[in-house]
Structure 1
Amino acid sequence: MSDWKTAFRSFYYAGAEPPDDPVMPPERTALLVIDIQNTYLEPDADPDEAARWAPFRARMNETVIPNTAALIECCRHRGVEVIFARIACLKPDGRDRSLSQKKPGFNYLLLPKDRADSQIVPALTPAADEIVLTKTTDSALTGTNLRLILHNMDIRHVVVAGIFTDQCVSSTVRSLADESFDVTVVEDCCAAATDTLHTNELISINMIYCHVMQLDDVQGYLRDSSN
Structure 2
Amino acid sequence: MSWKNSFRSIYYEGAPEPADLDLGWKETALLVIDVQNTYLARPDRATLTPDEQRRYDAWTPFHSRMRDTVIPRTADLLARFRRHGIECLFARIACHTKDGRDRSLSQKMPGWNNLLLPKDEAPSQLVPELAPAGDEIVVTKTTDSALTGTNLRLILHNLGIKNVVCAGIFTDQCVSSTVRSLADESYNVVVVEDCCAAGSDELHRKELEIINMIYCHVMSSAELIAMMRL
Matches of 2:163 and 2:227 in 1, distance apart?
12
Matches of 2:229 and 2:112 in 1, distance apart?
39
TM-score if structure 2 supplies the norm length?
Answer: 0.95
Match runs of 1:2-13 below 5 Å = 3-13=2-12
Number of the residue aligned with 2:125: 119
Number of the residue aligned with 2:17: 18
- Aligned residues with identical type, % of pairs: 63
- Most deviating of 47-56 and 21-30: 47-56
Query: Which SS does the other structure have where 1:106 is aligned?
Result: coil
Number of the residue aligned with 1:179: 185
Number of the residue aligned with 1:94: 100
Specify the code of the residue in structure 1 equivalent to 2:137.
Answer: I
Matches of 1:136 and 1:169 in 2, distance apart?
14
Deviations 1:107-138 (A, max 9, x none): 00000000001100011111021001100000
Superposition RMSD in Å: 1.0
Write out the 4+ residue segments of structure 1 that deviate beyond 4 Å after TM superposition: none
Number of the residue aligned with 1:32: 31
Contact map agreement 1:30 1:82 (CA 8 A) in 2? yes
Unaligned runs of 5+ in 2: none
Number of the residue aligned with 2:42: 43
Matches of 1:47 and 1:200 in 2, distance apart?
26
The one of 74, 79, 85 equivalent to 1:73 is 79
Query: Which SS does the other structure have where 1:48 is aligned?
Result: helix
Matches of 2:81 and 2:224 in 1, distance apart?
10
Matches of 2:122 and 2:26 in 1, distance apart?
33
Number of the residue aligned with 1:188: 194
Matches of 1:111 and 1:126 in 2, distance apart?
19
Contact map agreement 1:78 1:222 (CA 8 A) in 2? no
Specify the code of the residue in structure 2 equivalent to 1:118.
Answer: S
Matches of 1:32 and 1:98 in 2, distance apart?
22
Number of the residue aligned with 2:164: 158
Query: Which SS does the other structure have where 1:183 is aligned?
Result: strand
What is the CA-CA distance between 1:49 and the residue it aligns to? 2.4
What is the CA-CA distance between 1:194 and the residue it aligns to? 0.2
Specify the code of the residue in structure 2 equivalent to 1:189.
Answer: C
> Are 1:217 and 2:223 matched, yes or no?
yes
> Are 1:203 and 2:202 matched, yes or no?
no
Specify the code of the residue in structure 2 equivalent to 1:62.
Answer: D
Aligned residue pairs total: 223
Deviations 1:23-79 (A, max 9, x none): 111111000000000000111453222211111000000000001000111111122
Query: Which SS does the other structure have where 1:109 is aligned?
Result: coil
What is the CA-CA distance between 1:94 and the residue it aligns to? 0.5
The one of 154, 163, 170 equivalent to 2:176 is 170
